[in-house]
C-alpha cells in the first residue's frame, strides 16, 4: 500500500481520520453552545478516562466547534511539576491575548479587545510575580497577585464583552488534574461565580480517571458544577468503523476476519487502533487485508507501543516505583487491593503508601476506589510483565 496515503496517525492529540463513538459528548456540547447563544447558560463539562482513549482529540474537537460558533475558545495543558506552575499561568495569559486578538479581527472590536488584552497581560504578571509593585494598563486591574481576585476580575470583564456579542468564553484544559491547587481552586470558584451571575464562561476539562475526585477535593461544589463524562474504549462496532472507514476512503478493504482480529487486539482503545491501523497499511502487500496481514500488523503495532507508548511511562518511574508497578502487574488483577500489592512486595501496606502516592502524582496509577489501585494506561500490566526483571 502507498505509504503516502496511510490515513492512520498515532500520536497524542493528533486527529484520527474519523472520530467514532463520541457522538453523545459532541451532541451534549452542541446543546451547551446552542443554549449559550440564547443566553441560557449551562454547566461546563469534564471528560475523564485512561490514557489513549482520545480525550485530547475530543477536547480539541469541542474547542474548534466552539470557536466556529463564535466563542472565545482558549486551550491550555496543565503540567504536574513546580516548573509547570508558572509556565501554565504564563501560557494562560498568552493564549488569552492571542485568542482575544483573533476574536477582535473577526468581530471588529479593536478598542474593547485591546483593553482586555492589557488585562490579560496584567493577569499574567500578577499571578507570575505575586503582588509585585508594577504599573499596568487599566490601573493594574487583575494584577494584584491574588489569583482568586485577579481571575474573577479577568473573567468578568471578558464575559461582559462576550455576553453583549451573544458569544461565550470557553477555557479548554487538558490534563486538568495536574493544575496547581491554587489555580485549580480559583478556576472552580470563578466558574461557580459565573453560574450564579449568569456570565457566559465555561470550563471544559479533560484528564485522568482521578480528575472528578481531584475537583471535588478542591471545591466541594465541583461535583455539581460540571457534566461529567467518562471516556472509555470504543464499542466493537465503533472500533471497526474507526479502521474500516478510512481504509475504504482510500480504496482499501478488510476481510471480516482480519478486521475482527485487529479490533480485538486493540481493546477498543483509539490510540491502539491508530497504531494497528498504521501497521496494517504498512505491512500488507495489497488490499483486501487478510488474516495474515492482521496478525503481522498486531505484532508490529505492539512493537511500536513497546518502543514508545509504554516506555515513556516506565522510564519516568524510580526503581522503587517500578517494583511497585511490577507488583501491581503480577497480581493479574485490573484493580488489586493495596494490601495485595504490598504482600507481593513482601512488605506491609503502610510501607508502600509513599511510593503509591508518588506513582499517583506522576499519573502512572490511580485509585478507582478506596483501597484499590489501577494503571492509568491500558495494557501497562502486560508491558511490565514483558520486561526483564533486574
C-alpha span between 365 and 316 (Å, rounded) = 13
Q: How far apart are CA 127 and CA 257, in angstroms?
A: 57
With b for 16 or more beta-carbon neighbours within 10 A and e for fewer, the 295-304 pattern comes to bbbbebbbee
Rounded distance between C-alpha atoms, residue 30 and residue 303, angstroms: 39
Contacts 24+ apart (CB under 8 A), 30-36: 30/65, 32/202, 33/65, 33/66, 33/69, 33/71, 33/168, 36/71, 36/168, 36/200, 36/202
Structural domain includes residue 121 = yes
**Do 238 and 282 have their domain in common?**
yes
Residues 270, 355, single domain; the answer is no
Looking at the structure, tell me whether residues 253 and 190 fall in a common domain: no
Question: Tens digits of per-residue pLDDT, 2-42?
Answer: 888 899 988 876 788 888 889 999 999 999 999 998 888 88
pLDDT digits (tens, 9 = 90+) for 183-194: 999 999 999 999
Please indicate, yes or no, if residue 286 is contained in any of the structural domains: yes
Same domain, 329 and 245: no
pLDDT, residue 154, reads 86
Class of residue 197 by CB neighbours under 10 A (exposed 0-12, middle 13-18, buried 19+) = exposed
Take residue 283 and report the three cell numbers written for it: 505491512
- Shared domain check, 161 and 70: yes
Q: How much is the pTM?
A: 0.87
Separation CA 117–CA 122 (nearest Å): 9
User: Where among 206, 230, 254 does a domain terminate?
Assistant: 230
Same domain, 226 and 238: no
Is pLDDT of 139 > 50? no
Same domain assignment for residues 358 and 301: no
Write the DSSP assignment of 240-283 as a string of letters.
HHHHHHHHHHTT--B-HHHHHHHHHHHTT-HHHHHHHHHHHHHH
For residue 292, tell me if it sits in a domain.
yes
Instruction: Count Cβ atoms within 10 A of the Cβ of residue 27 and give its class: 0-12 exposed, 13-18 middle, 19 or more buried.
Output: exposed
Same domain, 134 and 149: yes
Lowest mean pLDDT among 115-124, 148-157, 220-229, 287-296: 115-124
pLDDT bin (cut points 50, 70, 90) of residue 331 is very high
Is 18 within the bounds of a domain?
Answer: no
| Number of Cβ within a 10 Å radius of residue 385 | 12
Percent helix / strand / coil, the chain, rounded to 5 = 60, 10, 30
Residues 111-135 pLDDT 10s? 667 777 777 776 665 554 333 333 3
**What is the number of domains present in the chain?**
3
Are both 225 and 245 inside the same structural domain?
no
Residues 177 and 32 in one domain: yes
Residue 137 β-bridge partners: none
Structural domain containing residue 102? 23-230
Domain check: are 53 and 138 in the same one?
yes
The verdict on 247 and 316 lying in the same domain is no
For residue 359, the domain's CATH number is 1.10.10.10
CATH code: domain of residue 77: 3.40.50.300
Own/partner long-range contacts of 142-151 (Cβ < 8 Å, ≥24 apart): 147/182, 147/183, 147/186, 148/185, 148/186, 148/189, 148/190, 150/122, 150/123, 150/126, 151/123, 151/127, 151/183, 151/186, 151/187, 151/190
* Tens digit of each residue's pLDDT (9 = 90 or more) over 49-99: 999 899 999 999 999 999 999 999 999 999 877 777 878 888 888 888 888
The chain-wide mean pLDDT, for the chain, equals 88
CATH number at residue 251: 1.10.8
Amino acid at each position: 500500500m502507498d505509504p503516502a496515503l496511510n490515513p492512520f496517525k498515532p500520536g497524542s492529540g493528533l486527529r484520527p481520520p474519523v472520530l467514532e463513538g463520541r457522538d453523545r459528548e459532541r451532541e451534549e456540547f452542541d446543546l451547551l453552545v446552542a443554549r449559550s447563544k440564547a443566553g441560557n447558560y449551562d454547566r461546563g463539562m469534564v471528560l475523564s478516562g485512561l490514557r489513549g482513549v482520545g480525550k485530547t482529540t475530543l477536547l480539541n474537537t469541542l474547542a474548534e466547534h466552539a470557536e466556529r460558533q463564535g466563542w472565545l475558545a482558549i486551550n491550555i495543558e496543565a503540567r504536574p511539576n513546580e516548573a509547570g506552575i508558572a509556565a501554565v499561568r504564563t501560557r494562560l495569559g498568552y493564549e488569552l491575548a492571542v485568542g482575544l486578538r483573533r476574536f477582535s479581527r473577526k468581530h471588529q472590536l479593536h478598542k474593547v479587545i485591546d483593553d482586555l488584552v492589557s488585562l490579560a497581560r496584567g493577569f499574567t504578571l500578577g499571578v507570575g510575580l505575586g503582588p509585585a509593585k508594577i504599573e499596568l494598563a487599566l490601573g493594574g486591574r487583575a494584577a494584584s497577585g491574588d489569583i482568586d481576585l485577579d481571575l474573577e476580575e479577568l473573567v468578568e470583564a471578558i464575559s461582559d464583552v462576550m455576553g453583549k456579542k451573544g458569544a461565550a468564553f470557553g477555557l479548554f484544559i487538558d490534563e486538568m488534574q495536574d493544575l496547581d491547587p491554587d489555580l485549580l481552586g480559583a478556576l472552580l470558584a470563578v466558574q461557580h461565580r459565573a453560574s450564579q451571575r449568569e456570565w457566559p464562561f465555561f470550563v471544559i476539562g479533560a484528564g485522568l480517571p482521578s480528575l472528578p475526585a481531584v475537583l471535588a477535593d478542591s471545591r466541594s461544589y465541583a461535583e455539581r458544577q460540571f457534566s461529567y463524562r467518562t471516556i472509555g474504549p470504543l464499542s466493537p462496532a465503533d472500533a471497526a468503523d474507526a479502521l474500516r472507514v478510512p481504509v475504504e476512503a482510500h480504496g482499501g478493504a478488510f476481510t471480516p476476519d482480519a478486521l475482527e482480529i485487529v479490533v480485538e487486539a486493540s481493546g477498543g482503545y483509539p490510540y491502539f487502533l491508530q497504531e494497528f491501523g498504521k501497521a496494517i497499511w504498512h505491512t500488507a502487500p495489497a488490499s483486501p487485508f487478510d488474516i495474515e496481514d492482521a496478525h503481522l500488523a498486531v505484532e508490529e503495532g505492539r512493537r511500536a507501543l513497546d518502543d514508545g507508548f509504554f516506555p515513556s511511562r516506565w522510564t519516568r518511574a524510580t526503581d522503587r516505583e517500578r517494583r511497585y508497578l511490577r507488583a501491581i502487574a503480577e497480581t493479574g488483577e485490573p484493580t488489586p487491593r493495596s494490601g495485595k500489592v504490598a504482600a507481593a512486595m513482601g512488605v506491609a501496606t503502610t510501607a508502600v503508601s509513599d511510593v503509591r502516592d508518588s506513582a499517583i502524582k506522576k499519573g502512572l496509577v490511580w485509585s478507582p476506589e478506596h483501597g484499590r489501585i489501577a494503571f492509568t494506561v491500558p495494557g501497562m500490566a502486560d508491558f511490565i510483565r514483558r520486561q526483564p526483571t533486574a
